[in-house]
Amino acid sequence: MTRFRIPAARAALIILATASLAACASRPKPMGPVATTAPPPAYQTAPAPGPGPVVEETGAPTPGSARDFVINAGDLVYFDTDRFNVRDDARAILDAQAAWLARYPAVRVRIEGNADERGTREYNFALGARRAAAVKDYLVGHGLPAGRMDTVSYGKEHPLDTGSGEESWAHNRNAHTLITGGAR
């Protein structure tokens, strides 16, 4: 699993990046009326290893790199319990994904659908597939050729957040857009 098998040195850098993201995430959440659960922080997200030297990961992202995609477009969108419709708060991220991918037409992506642990294994494979397909459909609707994307469902088998409780489950109901080729 590309997403989860990261060389140790690179993993350490990712942890640094994660820590800074987590710091952002610890800011107080806005108290305004929000229809759905607020988008969880994109923490513990391991960006796909890019082709560039490792030292570049701590600086500004190379435009067109996988890290650039994660930081400047966003690679995760979240879903409500047992739902697969694209939420309002996901649209901005998917719009940014579509724009970024339009700018770098050589890039290919895999959309990984995920579910929380509060369901049975087989049902969650189906649910994760729905979420991956919903993101793919959205991106196709915004001009991205379907041939540049493939989808997979991990069901509840690859939780992004390894904790339990509603906050963890909210993180784990997601679709992750992973760059599989063509990035700088």
Query: Cβ closer to other proteins: 129 or 183?
Result: 129
Least separation in angstroms between residue 108's CB and other proteins is 12
Q: Is 157 exposed, middle or buried (0-12, 13-18, 19+ CB in 10 A)?
A: middle
* Helical segments of 34-106, H only: 66-72, 88-103
Kindly state whether residue 5 participates in binding other proteins, applying the rule CB under 8 A.
yes
- Tell which residue, 98, 56, 7, 12, has the closest CA to residue 184: 56
Kindly state whether residue 126 participates in binding other proteins, applying the rule CB under 8 A.
yes
User: In the set 137, 141, 143, 145, which binds other proteins (CB under 8 A)?
Assistant: 137
150's enclosing H/E stretch is strand 149-155
Structure tokens at 118: 């509060």
Kindly state whether residue 133 participates in binding other proteins, applying the rule CB under 8 A.
yes
The contact set with other proteins (CB under 8 A) reads 1-5, 44, 82, 84, 110, 112, 117-123, 125-127, 129-130, 132-134, 136-137, 150-154, 157-159, 162, 164
